Amino acid sequence: MILITGATGQLGRELVRLATARAEAFTAVSRPAFDLASPDSIAAAFHACAPALVINAAAYTAVDAAESDIAAARAGNHTGPAHLAALCHAADIPLIHVSTDYVFDGNKGAPYVETDPTNPTGIYGQTKQDGETAILGSGARTIILRTAWVYAGHGKNFARTMLTVGAKMPALRVVADQRGTPTAAGDLAAAIFAIIDTLRRTGWQAQYQGIFHATNAGETTWFGFAQEIFAQAALFGGPAPALTPISTAEWPTPARRPADSRLDGTKLGQIFAVTLPPWQASLPPIVASLMTL
């Protein structure tokens, strides 16, 4: 039995969809029944499922709101996941936990590897880093997957926002000096189940413990991402606003974003033989689904 947390989020919905297609035995939970701010709800959901493996796709992801809602961010990204990890350790089962590129400051100038020093620039990134540290220190058999720029054909994400706003406005200004990799939630879910297949085939091995980077291949900027979104939308008669590249300084936000948060996925390929497709290949079907809603 697999326990999937955060079942109503972008990744959670894709995990549920794929688990169903694979005829997996699973239980999917989300708030209010499963709330990372409530240790009692975590324990209740865990013991009701009696899982053989947990995928934690639940988190506090409101990056800007975290700057003022520190307690909620800490519960969702640090203390809650730590409690879940403790339960996994006590049950002697693996935990696959999803983390973020925001643990880095974006100043390296090259894709980050798992051993690079972290230096989060905001509350969201700090609480996610603290969660990583607590989970790794829990004694649980843990695989942490750092990912970035997650989007899907549902939920709140950059692609959906661009299409919504682009349908209302003739021109858009989009940040062009932040670099990273859009990651399709469905591709990340498929990678997670590929990892699970390996665990089933080989049993737990020491090399599986720790942090891995999991994003689609390739890189772009938010401006480049927007350009491709509208290029795909045009195939469906979608909006075609004029796009103007701007700097981060021209679009201030409460939380500072990493300027270059590209993640190197080599380790994931070496250990689990898992690679995610180029982001450009995964975008078209998602834009198609958003255009046909």
* Contacts with 186 (C-beta within 8 Å, 6 or more apart), sequence order: 14, 17, 18, 152, 282, 286
CA 141 to chain centre: 20
Between CA 225 and CA 219 the distance in angstroms is 9
Cβ proximity of 282 and 184 under 8 Å: yes
Q: What count of other Cβ atoms lies within 10 Å of the Cβ of residue 88?
A: 26
* Contacts with 111 (C-beta within 8 Å, 6 or more apart), sequence order: 219, 262, 263, 264
Chain position carrying tokens 């979608």: 238
* H-state helical runs in the chain: 10-21, 39-49, 70-74, 80-91, 123-136, 158-166, 185-202, 222-234, 266-272, 279-291
Residues paired with 2 in a beta bridge: 26, 53
Between CA 209 and CA 142 the distance in angstroms is 5
Q: Give CA torsion, residues 137, 139, 140, 143, to 10 deg.
A: 50
Produce one character per residue of 5-35: b if its CB has 16 or more CB atoms within 10 Å, e if not: bbbebbbbbbbbebbeeeeeebbbbbbeebb
Going by the DSSP 8-state scheme, the letter that residue 160 receives in this structure is H
- 124 is a catalytic site residue: yes
Going by the DSSP 8-state scheme, the letter that residue 188 receives in this structure is H
- The catalytic position among 60, 102, 112, 124 is 124
Catalogue the active-site residues.
Answer: 124
